[in-house]
Structure 1
Amino acid sequence: MTSTAELTVPLGRRRAYWPAVVCLAVLLGALYLAHRHWAAVESGAVRLAVADQGWLLVGATAAAGTWAASALAQQGAVLRRLPGARLVAAQFAASAANHLLPAGVGAGAVNLRFLMRCGLPAGRSASALAVKATSGAAVRLALLALLTPACPGLLRLPPVSPVAVAVALGVAVLVAVLPAVPLWPRCRRALTAVLADIRAVHACPARAAALWGGSLAFAALHALVLISVTQAVALPLAPLQVALLYLAASSAAALLPTPGGLGSLDAALALALTASGTSAAAAASAVLGYRLLTMWLPLLPGLLVLGVLVRRKAL
């Protein structure tokens, strides 16, 4: 007779397959697009090789600053004081781990383990990550709302179809009937815990300033990396326009669970830049430069730092 455990293990495995399938599909799609537009990619690489080194140095400095900004936001999400040097190192390691696992799983696992090693219970650690993620999303939405009127006509929303309206209504109906779902009490408890942590953080002005300031700096520094690369390869776009395109592209790419946005962010950035009137070769050089500074160059050092933190039992 088959036991319940024997039935649930394959079911759990099947449920774990879909993120990997989606990730593989996106990566294959990105490879297909790169192969199809290889001439533009090759031309972009050549253009990046002769780019302005000073602007690339500015971009590299901004990329390094994103880890400090992430550490500041993470400190603001908890009331307990965290060890500063190890916190920044953990963010550096988390950024590398994030490029190996889909949908931010790598960064989340590293930060969760770090907070637990610092003495926070598992529930509080998970809530702190949720608080940080919520503030980051809110900051991106606020920046999009502020920059869109400053760059009129740059972002063109697609026409809303009746199918999209029907899907939105369907989602609203599902949300309305969620209390009848057995998982809803558990989700409600988790949401209540996150809201309680948000209130506790905002009761301390210093922690609230760290949370929101770090989240704002993180988004702004990533935009600055792309701005620096576009200046280095002489793209005819104003800095505010590049920042808006980055925020829109990164927000759209977050919907696809690829490791570090690999494939999805690249395609979204290239599409946003070309839709603004940039040539395909120039857009490819900007995307390659942004990825070089934020992903490929820090990847190996980040993995080495991750190994050191694990060995020293900081994770």
Structure 2
Amino acid sequence: MSPLPLDDLPVVHPAPVRSPAAARLARLTRLTPALLPLLAIGAWAAVDWRAVSEGAARLAAADPRWLLAGVFFTCLGWVAAAGAANHILPASIGAHAVTLRFLQRRGIPLARATASLALYSLVKPVAKTVVLVAFLVALPDALRLGDLAPDTWTLLMAAGAAVLALATAALLLTVVRPLRRPALGFVRTALAEARTLHTRPSRVLALWGGSAAAPVLQGSVIASVGFSLGLPLSWAQVVLALLLASTAVGAVPAPGGIGPVDAAMVFTMAAFGAPVSLATATVIGYRVLTVWIPLLPGALVLSALIHREVL
């Protein structure tokens, strides 16, 4: 057998050698998503240390049994790996980014993964609205909405904003042709995925049941913290306060929803008859259970997933 010509021999390129500094920089880059939430929470605590210390003092005297109940409901309502990323980016972008990356690493095409996240993002507010309406219908007298009902001007502004957003999207799709094809392809993929999912009862229950249960579990955490501090509200009032607050200002971009939703929850619970100081301490305790406690294990799990190249 004659030897192969030199031109036909395979060319083997040596593996690139990375310097120690480049390797350290790569590791730091992978760990950045896990470290940012810890830095953000630490900065917030340093800036508003008085509120943190007062809330911690109240929680130190709280009923530990109700706090354990809050921890139990917290464990039912969060996932550590996505939670760490979500608490640094607004409107659940962090959790969606982690989920999208995970789905892609599992071999799911980008279009299908994006359509799945879009369907989930659409189902969440719809399910929350259904839960809110169910509370209003089931307990119309016990909840005492009072001045919380929006006036006509507020409703008109909200309706106008929704119509403006839809009109802007339609105009962009009509005028900007490069957007039309990918947008229509995304809609077709999303509709096909939705039809396929709704043919499987177990997945329908997981999607809609989980979306409806999430705000109830979050409200149960707040109620448990409030009961441990002596909050003079019922469980239904606390859950409704969260539903109203998150519906009213949930679209405001803030890391993990911290800030606008907290202020709205304090205002809503105060409107139901709770002292402002007690409502504030309840919200701080809620954030401790749902943000601070999950943050460290969430950051560690997220770091491990990145290090193992699962994400």
Q: Deviations over 1:110-135 (max 9, x none)?
A: 00011111221111111111122222
What letter is aligned with 2:76?
A: G
TM-superposed CA distance for 1:47, in Å, is 2.4
Seen in structure 2, the aligned counterparts of structure 1 residues 114 and 244 have a Cα distance that, compared at 3 Å, is same
SS at match of 2:151: coil
Q: Which amino acid aligns with 1:51?
A: A
- Pairing partner for 1:126 from 105, 109, 114: 114
Say if 2:233 and 2:273, in contact at 8 Å, map to a contact too.
no
- Does residue 159 (structure 1) correspond to residue 151 (structure 2)? The answer is yes
Matched, 1:214 2:210: yes
Cross-structure match for 1:203: 199
| Percentage of identical aligned residues | 39
Q: What is the deviation of 1:249?
A: 1.2
Q: Which has the larger radius of gyration?
A: 2
CA gap of 1:114–1:172, structure 2 versus 1, over 3 A, is: closer
Whole-Å separation in 2 of the counterparts to 1:120 and 1:176: 29
Aligned to 1:298: 294
Shift of 1:136: 1.4
- Amino acid corresponding to residue 132 of structure 2 in structure 1: L
Aligned to 1:312: 308
CA distance, structure 2, for counterparts of residue 174 and residue 308 of structure 1: 42
TM-score (norm. length: structure 2): 0.75
Alpha carbons of structure 1 residues 169 and 197: separation in structure 2 relative to 1, 3 Å: closer
Secondary structure in 1 matching 2:152: coil
Matches within 5 A, 1:79-158: 91-149=79-137, 150-152=139-141, 153-154=144-145, 156-158=148-150
- For residues 199-249 of structure 1, give each alpha carbon's deviation from its aligned partner in whole angstroms, at most 9, with x where no partner exists: 110011121112122222322211111111111111111111111111111
Q: 1:179 to 1:119 in 2, by over 3 A?
A: closer
Letter aligned with residue 145 of structure 2: L
* 8 A Cα contact 1:58 1:225, kept in partner: yes
Displacement of 1:291 in angstroms is 0.2
CA distance in 2, matches of 1:98, 1:110: 9
RMSD: 2.7
Q: Once the 2 structures are TM-superposed, how far is the Cα of residue 179 of structure 1 from its aligned partner?
A: 4.9
Q: Return 230-239 or 217-226, whichever deviates more.
A: 217-226
Label 1:296 to 1:194 Cα distance change in 2 as closer, same or farther (>3 A). same
The worse-fitting range, judged by mean Cα deviation, of 170-179 and 260-269 is 170-179
SS where residue 161 of structure 1 aligns? Answer: helix
Which residue of 1 is the match for residue 230 of structure 2? 234
Q: How many residues align?
A: 260
Alignment correspondent of 2:76: 65
Q: Contact (CA 8 Å) 2:80, 2:295: kept in 1 or not?
A: no
